[in-house]
Amino acid sequence: MIWVAVLSLGLLLSGVPIAFALGLGGTLGVWLFGIPLPVIITRFFSGVDSFVFIAMPFYILAAEIMNRSDITVRLIRISSLLMGRFPGGTAYTNTGASVLFAGISGSAVADASALGRFFMNVMPKEGYTKEYSAAVTAATAIIGPIIPPSGLAIIMAAVTGLSIVDLFVAGIIPGLMMGGACIVMIWIRSLTSGLPQSRIVVEQSQIPRLVIEGVLVGILPVVIVGGMVVGAFTATEGGGIAVFVAAVLGLVVFRSISLKDLWDSLIVAARVTATVYLLVAAASILSYALNLLGISSLVTSLAPYFEGTPTLFLVGVMLLMLVLGMFLDIGAALIIFVPLLMPTITHLGIDPIQAAMVIILTLAIGLITPPVGVVLFILMKIGDVPMMPFIRELLPFLAAELCAVLLLIFFPSLSTWLPHVLG
């Protein structure tokens, strides 16, 4: 087991693509166990042989179409209308735009790339430091994979058998909590150090149009989640409807994309989907190898030590996911480790929905932690920001978001109440 972990980690650190590093590590584990290597081919394809995964390309395509529809500027202006009048208004606007954008993209990387280019240009001109501008953008970007539609929720549903609808709905309150944690830190900063007034101007005459556009943009997540909750369609069918709504908004309503843009969106979505599927398939080989080598038995043997203290176990899971998020792709971490943890979670009487939200939120935080924080490096490149000053400004936001995760652990209803109410 140790050799498998060492090989995978060594390949990752040496710059080998994540999917290949995980697949080669898993191949070593299967070979050490003495199973014929052709089994690897079977595991590779069975890793993505799940009906749930059919939904993923639709949501990726819908998000790509909306990203090309100049939706970023509209969301920023809508957010500025709601939050821009306070001291530090542009920082608040950054948070609000990330929450709204999360209901479209479902991706922290897309959020950081799209919103980062705008705010990393505007905020320093208003008097914010580049490091603080990057910290606010990074901390709010990770709301993307939490609020539905969420790519992480789809992967979680595939590896655990939980309902996509439940996971989508369960992500609403935790996602808003993460946004609230960022707002609290901005408010504290405005009280202690002072923050500049926003220069993003929204004319009075533009407000009716912005309200209408806000309603139209909000149709997408409402259609997806609402339709699934009432049973009008499945998650996969909801993804197809989301693509249709996004295309109509971009081509007909906003008229901000062409048929060529639609074709380009299809190409990008196909590439991103193929990348995700390759990662899932490779990670399933490593997960299979680790199970063969006894890691699942090792995890299960820990259960008696946490009898009567499930909260302590969840805190341990949070710490484990925080460390894994620093080194592993979060999709791979879900596929490899969640199947190992879920039997113990259910044995201890922990609601799987609560555990899923704790895991998703903590892994999302890993996107902004070194050494492999993808969002961290995207914003360092966009804003030309040095790492250490950036991380110093980011630390208060990290602490606040970890507090939000702890609230989910100590108050399970924050993640389970809404799915149970909606049935």
pLDDT of residue 103: 75
Average pLDDT over residues 166-190: 92
pLDDT tens digits, one per residue of 319-337: 988 888 877 778 888 888 8
Q: How confident is the model at residue 184 (pLDDT cuts 50, 70, 90)?
A: very high
CA gap 171, 179 in Å, rounded: 12
Average pLDDT over residues 341-368: 91
pLDDT of residue 403: 95
Q: Which residue has the higher pLDDT, 172 or 217?
A: 172
Q: How confident is the model at residue 215 (pLDDT cuts 50, 70, 90)?
A: confident
pLDDT of residue 3: 60
CA gap 330, 321 in Å, rounded: 9
pLDDT of residue 5: 65
pLDDT of residue 84: 66
Instruction: Give the HSE-up count for residue 244: Cα atoms under 13 Å, Cβ half-sphere.
Output: 8
Q: Which residue has the higher pLDDT, 254 or 408?
A: 408
Least confident of 46-55, 153-162, 175-184, 268-277: 46-55
Q: How confident is the model at residue 52 (pLDDT cuts 50, 70, 90)?
A: confident
Q: How far is CA 351 from CA 129, 150, 304, 310, 346, in A?
A: 43, 20, 18, 10, 7
Q: How confident is the model at residue 362 (pLDDT cuts 50, 70, 90)?
A: very high
CA gap 416, 169 in Å, rounded: 9
CA gap 174, 183 in Å, rounded: 14
Is the pLDDT at 1 greater than 60? The verdict is no
Is the pLDDT at 311 greater than 60? The verdict is yes
CA gap 74, 68 in Å, rounded: 12
Q: Which residue has the higher pLDDT, 120 or 215?
A: 120
Average pLDDT over residues 66-90: 76
pLDDT of residue 201: 66
Average pLDDT over residues 218-236: 78
Is the pLDDT at 160 greater than 80? The verdict is yes
Average pLDDT over residues 32-47: 79
Average pLDDT over residues 223-250: 82
Supply the mean pLDDT for the chain: 83
Q: How confident is the model at residue 347 (pLDDT cuts 50, 70, 90)?
A: confident
Token pair in block for residue 315? 């805190």
pLDDT tens digits, one per residue of 280-305: 888 888 777 777 766 766 677 777 77
pLDDT of residue 202: 65
Q: What 8-state DSSP symbol labels residue 148?
A: S
Q: Is it true that the peptide bond before 371 is cis, omega within 30 degrees of 0?
A: yes
Is the pLDDT at 423 greater than 70? The verdict is no
- Contact at 8 Å (CB) between 101 and 127? no
Is the pLDDT at 118 greater than 80? The verdict is yes
Average pLDDT over residues 229-252: 83
Is the pLDDT at 13 greater than 70? The verdict is no
Return the C-alpha torsion angle 112, 117, 119, 121, nearest 10. 150
Q: What are the phi and psi torsion angles at 422 (to 5°)?
A: -85, 0
Q: Which residue has the higher pLDDT, 246 or 181?
A: 181
Average pLDDT over residues 127-134: 89
Q: What angle do CA 284, 290, 296 make, to 5 degrees?
A: 110
Percent of the chain having pLDDT more than 90? Answer: 19
Amino acid at position 286, single letter: L
Q: Give the residue carrying structure tokens 């890691």.
A: 295
